Amino acid sequence: MSTVTLTIDGRRVTVPEGTSLLHAAEEIGVEVPHYCYHPALSAPAQCRLCLVDVEGAPKPMPSCVTQAQDGQVVRTDEGLAREMRKGVLEFYLINHPLDCPICDQSGECKLQDYVHSEGRAHGRGVEPKRVFGRDDFGGDVLFYGDRCVMCTRCVRFMEEMAGDPVLTVVERGDRAVIDTFFEQGLRDSPYSGNIVDICPVGALVSKDFLHKARAWDLDHTSSVCPNCSQGCNIDIHTRDNVVHRLKPRENPEVNGHWMCDYGRGHYEWMNRSDRIEKPFARGDDGWSAPGWHEALSSLRERLEDCRGPVHAVVSAHASNEDLGALREFVERLGGGDIVYRSARAADEVPLPGFPVLARRRDLAPNTRGAELLGLRRVGSDDASGGLDEVAAGTGTLIVLGDELADQPEDFGSRAELFVYLGAHPAPAARSAHFVLPVTTFAEQEGTFTNMQTRVQRFEPALRATGNAQPAWQVLGALTASLAGEPAPASAAEAFDRLAAGVPEFEGLGYDRLGVHGVPANRPAALAGDR
């Protein structure tokens, strides 16, 4: 690969040939202010904010489209370019309203940052600012025309990525504004929420998040979208142990900079208040609520006395560690049938400009992981049915994560021992002998395997409710007590134990997965298309 060496702000840097000055500066930790440029979109070089001085050039150059050349000498922090950037910022503020106290973008706004670092100390405008008001673009998007700086990122995203060019610039000069064609709006585009993410100011905002929280009050946690098998990398934004929104996190191999509106909007279930908060056991005298130690000790005694067949039902929303712990537990009991159910959409919904990304048919994050572990899929596309054989069975019945919404209240009543591990109460689990509270994916760390068989890590964004514990920890403790060996002490140990028994995960190593995940080894032949 050919490289060029240049000097930026007195520091030498070597970059691949064809690299822009903007990216070359980033290599040495220098941020050049910019608006219209986005790494996944075309570069119109129209905001004129990323200007830099290049020795020998007759005027400041836009760094987003100017390629680095061997021997170039570039200045970003002084000279004519900095003065011109100051003028551009002043020009933006001629009409931009100073409504930061009520703007959802406040705290994340690049205009605030740039003006603070390079702008004029005092404004000189005396004329009234332009007023456009608020427009509903449809879907989850509101447009505040007064705040718009005409970067056209939204216009280019809808044309180049979404393949649905419904936004354009109307009028010219100080009358210019972003608008939709006639009354079409965004026409329920399945990816329109991304224009809110890439808007550098508060011109485009989410109706769902409107005035919900201040950016500086939100905690950001790296995670994986749990709403389909694509496995988009996301950040979960929380405050006071409540999820307020999901935002895409860049991963070039999976979702680029984007995510679909379906995944973005399905997060309220993480905030459900109807939770199982402590272990329950049912005996001859009815229900009791022993602590974890007593509950697991009693369950172990029951397991040693139970000699019938083992049936298990699991949700494909469970992590690899949970699934692996369940499989090991069932094997310790002598083996048995493990099935899972998962809802499927009618069609996939790809992003035309980045076709690697799609809202997949499987509306669960870990169907691939379940398949690699040898679990059997049952039920219809709405995740119902398929449990007749399980319901009619005797012996031991274990249910993990599936709320059994389509099953009758006497489900599992024929089982000699029925154990339900879940986050939320299930009416169909009334026949259970033990009800054990487990955490949701948002309350634990672990991994999912997406439709590409890429194994990706997620981190806990919420505090666990009550005494709920990760399913891998509960099942690992039971297995360890039956086998007389130590239980896994962390998600990393649980993953390593899983990897030791599954060739596709062998040698991956929990720490090796990093922030973008790692493809599984030698994927086995997998059933169905996703």
| 3 state SS of 484 | coil
3 state DSSP class of 136: strand
Tokens of residue 132, six digits: 């456009």
**Can you tell me which residue has the tokens 């649905």?**
164
pLDDT for 530: 44
Angle of CA points 355, 357, 359, to nearest 5°: 115
Three-class SS of residue 89? Answer: helix
Q: Which helix H or strand E contains 206, and what residues bound it?
A: strand 204-206
- What are 377's two structure tokens? 């899929």
Please state, in angstroms and as integers, the Cα–Cα distance from residue 288 to each residue in 63, 191, 280, 297, following that order.
68, 48, 6, 14
- Tokens coding 280: 């329950």
User: Could you please report the per-residue DSSP string of 378-430?
Assistant: -S-TBS----HHHHH--SEEEEES---TTS-TTTTTT-SEEEEEESS--GGGT
Confidence (pLDDT) at 409: 93
Cα gap 61→67, rounded to integer Å: 10
| pLDDT of res. 529 | 46
What are the strands of the beta sheet with 396-400, ordered from one edge?
A: 286-288, 280-283, 434-437, 417-422, 396-400, 310-315, 337-341, 376-377
Domains and CATH numbers, the chain: 3-78 (3.10.20.740), 99-109+123-217 (3.30.70.20), 308-348+360-519 (3.40.50.740)
Give, in degrees to the nearest 5, the angle at Cα 43 between 39 and 49.
95
pLDDT at position 524: 55
What's the rounded Cα separation, in Å, for the pair 267 and 209?
Answer: 12
**What's the Cα-to-Cα distance from 26 to each of 2, 126, 206, rounded to whole Å?**
19, 37, 30
Place of tokens 């170039």: 72
Residue 354 confidence (pLDDT): 97
The whole-number pLDDT of residue 140 equals: 95
- pLDDT score, position 526: 56
Judged on CB neighbours under 10 Å (0-12, 13-18, 19+), 18 is exposed
**pLDDT for 182:** 75
Structure pTM? 0.94
Task: Give Cβ neighbours of residue 459 (< 8 Å, ≥ 6 apart).
Answer: 221, 222, 223, 445
Q: Which of 488, 414, 467, 491 is nearest to 294 (CA)?
A: 467
How do the pLDDT tens digits run along the chain, 530 residues long? Answer: 899 999 999 999 999 999 999 999 999 999 999 999 999 999 999 998 999 999 999 999 999 999 999 999 999 988 899 999 999 999 999 989 989 999 999 999 999 999 999 898 888 888 888 888 899 999 999 999 999 999 999 999 999 999 999 999 999 888 899 999 877 889 789 999 999 999 999 999 999 999 999 999 999 999 999 999 999 999 999 999 999 999 999 999 999 999 999 999 999 999 999 999 999 999 888 899 999 999 999 999 999 888 889 999 999 999 999 999 999 999 999 999 999 999 999 999 999 999 999 999 999 999 999 999 999 999 999 999 999 999 998 899 999 999 999 999 999 999 999 999 999 999 999 999 999 999 999 999 999 999 999 999 999 999 999 999 999 999 999 999 998 889 999 999 999 999 998 999 998 988 899 999 999 986 655 544 44
The pairing of strands 376-377 and 310-315 is unpaired
